[in-house]
Homo-oligomer: A and B are copies of this chain.
Amino acid sequence: MQSLKDKILSEGTIVGTDILKVDSFLNHQIDPQLMDAIGKEFAGAFSDLAITKVLTIESSGIAPALTTAFHLGVPLVFAKKTISKNLDNDTFAATVHSFTKGTDYIVRVSKKYLTSDDNVLIIDDFLAKGCALDGLVDIVNASGASVAGAGIVIEKGFQKGGSRIRLKGIRVHSLAIIQEMSEIDHRIIFSDKE
């Protein structure tokens, strides 16, 4: 998706070998017009699959997942990372390791909002090692629903999550795949596979 790649090139900053900061438009400050275009793109890419629900994980997945759900005309469910009085006790749960935060956490979805009739499109902002996506796939599987596919805003193609998850037979559609990036000369090279 060219407008996204342009935005990554103009505003993304690289920290170390594997952190791409896109907090000016994706995961802290958010560009709502770009999110809408992203949602349209995902809705178009998965329009053949009779999606009944979009699933993401709080918090950075919510914006692109909301616009995707809007353009598909289906509800969005976001998996929760913390327990609160507002969450049912009866949940599907999965453990996820966060390399960004250096911790494990449990993600939960109320059993009310995923059923065996659902055909679920998973949306997330990033795909690197794929741990969050694994957790969401586990939750969909536990509910008896089908995983229609996964829509990823930015995939770090130089990490192994994307290829590992595609090998499981899951259709992964990434809007920008970064093949190579370097803090030293501030270089970002996209793969042409998306």
Identify the A interface with B (CB < 8 A): 15, 19, 21, 23-25, 27-33, 35-36, 58-59, 62-63, 66-67, 69-70, 73-78, 80, 82-88, 98, 100-101, 109-110, 112-113
Contact = CB atoms under 8 A, between A and B. Distances in A.
Nearest to A16: B85
B101 A66 contact: no
Contact of A27 (B24, B66, B86): B86
A19 to B, nearest CB: 6
Given A36-B70, A87-B23, A28 B80 contact: yes
Nearest to A82: B101
A84 B100 contact: yes
Given A23-B86, A78-B28, A33 B73 contact: yes
Contact of A66 (B24, B63, B84, B86): B63
A112 B23 CA distance: 10
B19 A78 contact: no
